[in-house]
Structure 1
Amino acid sequence: MTITLEQRMDAFRRLDEAKLTFAKRDWFPGTSGNLSIKLSGEPLQFAVTASGKDKTKLSPEDYLIVDGDSRPVEATSLKPSAETMIHAVVYKKIPTAGACFHVHTIANNLVSELYFQETAFSIQGQELIKGLGIWEENARISVPIVENFADIPQLAAAIEEVITPEIPGVLIRNHGIYAWGANDFEAKRHLESFEFLFEYHLRWLQLRQAAVSR
């Protein structure tokens, strides 16, 4: 499938919007994090952030288009993010996913370490669970956590084993979160909901400990 110039520019524009929104929240320390938007499913092609770019700024060389094997589909001097393979795994395992966002925050790193031995972070009864598209009363969710393997194929395989359509995200121990949705709007909503839940839980733990210590 040939990606048109209009499709390319629209995807890059939407990635710009997401990138700047998250950058203002300091969710891209250093040059960390990566973003993608799917352009086609058969064959799989998606726009993804280029490696080593400052995500607080915009430039004409921030993104490129890759295939299901994480290889550029066009001649380019840009390198895809080292973790592009994880985006490909998400799109293959969750065919309804149309965008995938990865950020590093203090909250998601702490939660992933605190609950790594349980292999998931669970929370129940919080209003922002509805932001994940889960509307049942007193709903409980469990966000899977995988080890932070330095070998990206090993990390991608670990993620592929645990992700499901029901929970649109996965934590990597002391690394960050990948969250996805049917489109960039939904992926952003899911990511924001996860981050609120993580921060809420950490503050609740602090308040509970302070109360016990009195």
Structure 2
Amino acid sequence: MTSNQAILEAKQAVAKLAVDLSGRGWMPATSGNLSVRVDGTTDFCITPSGVDKGALQATDVLLLDLDGTVLEETRYRPSAETIVHQKLYASEECGSVLHVHTVYNNMVSQLYFNQGHVEFADHELLKALGHWEPDAKITLPIVENHADLQLLGQAVGEAAVAGVPGVLVRNHGIYAFGRKPFDAKRHLEAFEFLFEYHVRMLQLAQVPLHR
């Protein structure tokens, strides 16, 4: 595989993910950002800022190095939250980072922000997150939504822990990641299922949705 082919495949993967996740309503109003590492390198491809993700083309996707420098001529700016992707690529063994904004992940982030995490247990979908043990549970960290993006990147990078492929940001969204784009997408889908399940169970139990 040539380097150019690897770059093209990473850009195509980003564009395909963007159209898919936008179609689910997970990237409203041009929000969210997605990236895929170029195979065999530390460079990565990321969605541009302020673009409708549902209509994204591979030619719109930007190529960056791990320092956040744009490596190709483009009319776009990289996502404002590129620093978060940089921190995760530097600290985690991952090849894709997916960040979406949904109602359910925002609700869960606000509900459990004061305790700094939310725990999920006794769910079949925990297998999709790599936990197959009979008493499986996962503790997902929640960090503050810092306006200073350097602080946000640092907070997400430091909160990421082994065996938990995601970090939730209060009233903002989730960063889910994995070794390959397919893995990151599977993790994201599992988390979003767990968020919705949890909120709906609270509603059924008539538990106030605030703390």
Superposed CA offset, 1:11-67 (max 9, x none): 12111221111111100110100100011565x210000111101113464211111
Alignment of 1:90-129 (within 5 A): 90-94=88-92, 96-129=93-126
Q: Which residue of 2 aligns with 1:16?
A: 15
One-letter code aligned to 2:6: Q
Aligned match for 1:81, one of 79, 102, 110: 79
Give 2:160's aligned residue: 163
Over 3 Å counting, the alpha-carbon distance change for 1:130 and 1:154 in structure 2 is same
How far apart are residue 177 of structure 1 and its match?
A: 0.2
Aligned length: 206
Q: Which runs of 4+ in 1 moved over 6 A?
A: none
* Matching residue of 2:33: 34
Identity %: 46
Q: 1:69-122 CA distances to partner (integer Å, 9 max, x unpaired)?
A: 21102233321100011011111100x201110000000000000000010011
CA distance change for structure 1 residues 60 and 181 in 2, over 3 Å: closer, same or farther? closer
> Structure 1 208/65 Cα, relative in aligned 2: closer, same or farther at 3 Å?
same
Distance 2:51 2:185 in 1: 20
Over the aligned positions, Cα root-mean-square deviation in angstroms equals 1.5
TM-score by length of 2: 0.93
Letter paired with 1:54: D
Gaps of 5+ in 2: none
How far apart are the structure 2 equivalents of 1:89 and 1:145?
16
Q: 1:208 aligns with which of 188, 205, 210?
A: 205
User: What's the TM-score, normalizing by structure 1?
Assistant: 0.92
